Chain A
Amino acid sequence: MPSGTNRIIVTVIGRDQVGIIAAVSSVLAEAQANIVDISQTTLQEFFAMIMMADLEHASLPFAEIKQRLNDKGEAMGLRIDAQHEAVFNYMHRV
């Protein structure tokens, strides 16, 4: 990838509820993805959680992890997405 790293940004957007962090963390842990950072904020009336994870030693490919996160989000009525870190690097850093 152009950025040279293998980190992803996971975003969770939806209504706040018990177990969001646990759900996302468990998907990442199953894939041996290391959580580097975590923060939360609000987007209009919605809850937004942002996690950075390192896939350097991950046991699953990015596409599979992303799919699992999408599925987990769907089950919880949340929008969980994952994008490569390069997107944010390119847009916000010169």
Chain B
Amino acid sequence: MQFSAQEIIETIRMVQMENLDIRTITMGISLRDCAHSDLSVVAARVYDKICRLASRLVPVGDEIERDYGIPIINKRISVTPIALVAESTGAGGYVAVAEAMDRAAREVGVNFIGGFSALVHKGTTTGDRALLASIPEALAVTERVCASVNVGTTRAGINMDAVARLGDIVCDTAARTADRHGIGCAKLVVFCNAVDDNPFMAGAFHGIGEPECVVNVGVSGPGVVCMAVKKEPDADFGALASIIKRTAFKVTRMGELVGRAASEKLAVPFGIVDLSLAPTPAQGDSVARILEAMGLERVGTHGSTAALALLNDAVKKGGAMASSYVGGLSGAFIPVSEDEGMIEAAQMGAISIDKLEAMTCVCSVGLDMIAVPGDTPPATIAAIIADEAAIGMINAKTTAVRIIPAPGRTVGEVVEFGGLLGTAPVMAVHRWSSAGFIARGGRIPAPLQGLGN
């Protein structure tokens, strides 16, 4: 036979026992041609275009899943940042567009649609301000719409006015969805160095340099990497990196296959494979457990940053060779509520926000799905965003904050979001104020790293 029995069994084992799956097929759709001076016309055009282009996304995803026997967990859509699409309406808010996106997502059967977004790293336009003003309501009245805001880049520096504003927006969003533990905040990502072709929610949007329509794929497979690491408890770091590279290569090949098949069946160009290790709350699908398998008693202890650096780099090296087009965020994700090992470590106090922040220096993406006390002041949220954006700006990498000030909850309590969003133990923030710093306003200048020409 063309393949050895061992090779075939290895593939079957990865899928059936180690949770190898394709995390998402995300269709990027340009909505630039939906602009109009009347907001209701924009909303109607947005709805029509999404339904038209994405009508076959879910059936095709299901077909590929069946043909190849690889589970495809999510089918999703990303669109042009709505601040650009709706700007010429002159309206003060774009909730109607968010509602149209939500209806379209429901119509075509995707669980999330990203792109209720604004890019404000150097300043805000009229459209950006209208979008920012609409975020809390839009996330409260819709179910599937995800919002994101880019507040900094290595080239532009950090827009601290926007950072301050987002401290308020995050708190307002939590308050408006207080009956559901502030779930609106789980659909809001604040970025530095956001990427145009990220297939992962909640931060996906269809960047302005992207084509009319494109298919991007996000792979997963923390369980496969974890089992491979566990099998070699005595391997030194060189050997360990090698094992992870080989595993990442195989996982990424599945992403490449699925991306190409989806592109062919949908007659839409293939964009990129995102090499991220994306955990879920399911047993055996945890990034934290990989770090523990490397020899740490609990994720969050000393050595976690080094372990994550090795993991992140080895995943990229293995994956980069497996796909012709690598993009998106491509790195290990360390969301707290979406990773069974992280949840446990947070509950027992093994990991803190400060350690998570340090870990985000060496992986994608940032402080992700972290619940903090409901009475955390907006200036503190803004300062957390500023710290994370500074890490991204200086290191020329993407960083993000997705933080939930859980209404009425305090440290030690737990917030249940359910499904892929998981369970978030409320983590402590520093109690000393950052308000004076955040109130300064203006822009943090671009660092020397941005002057690369």
Contact = CB atoms under 8 A, between A and B. Distances in A.
B122 interface: no
Contact of B257 (A48, A52, A87): A87
Given A43-B13, A90-B253, A84 B264 contact: no
Chain A: interface size category = 20 to 34
Contact of A63 (B13, B66, B250, B260): B66
B12 interface: yes
Contact of B7 (A13, A40, A83, A88): A88
B257 A50 contact: no
B404 to A, nearest CB: 38
Contacts of B264: 2
B8 interface: yes
A22 to B, nearest CB: 20
Contacts of B250: 91-92
B203 to A, nearest CB: 28
Contacts of B9: 11, 41, 43, 48, 50
Contact of B5 (A48, A81, A90, A94): A48
Interface string A19-46: 0000000000000000001011101000
Interface string A60-94: 00110010000000000001011111111111101
Contacts of B2: 37, 52, 85, 88-89
A2 B13 CA distance: 23
A1 interface: yes
Contacts of B261: 1-2, 86
Contacts of A81: 12, 69
Contacts of B67: 1, 62, 83-84
Interface string B353-385: 000000000000000000000000000000000
20 contacts: A1-B261, A2-B260, A9-B3, A9-B8, A39-B1, A41-B5, A48-B5, A50-B8, A50-B9, A81-B69, A82-B69, A83-B67, A86-B257, A86-B261, A87-B70, A88-B11, A89-B2, A91-B11, A91-B253, A91-B254
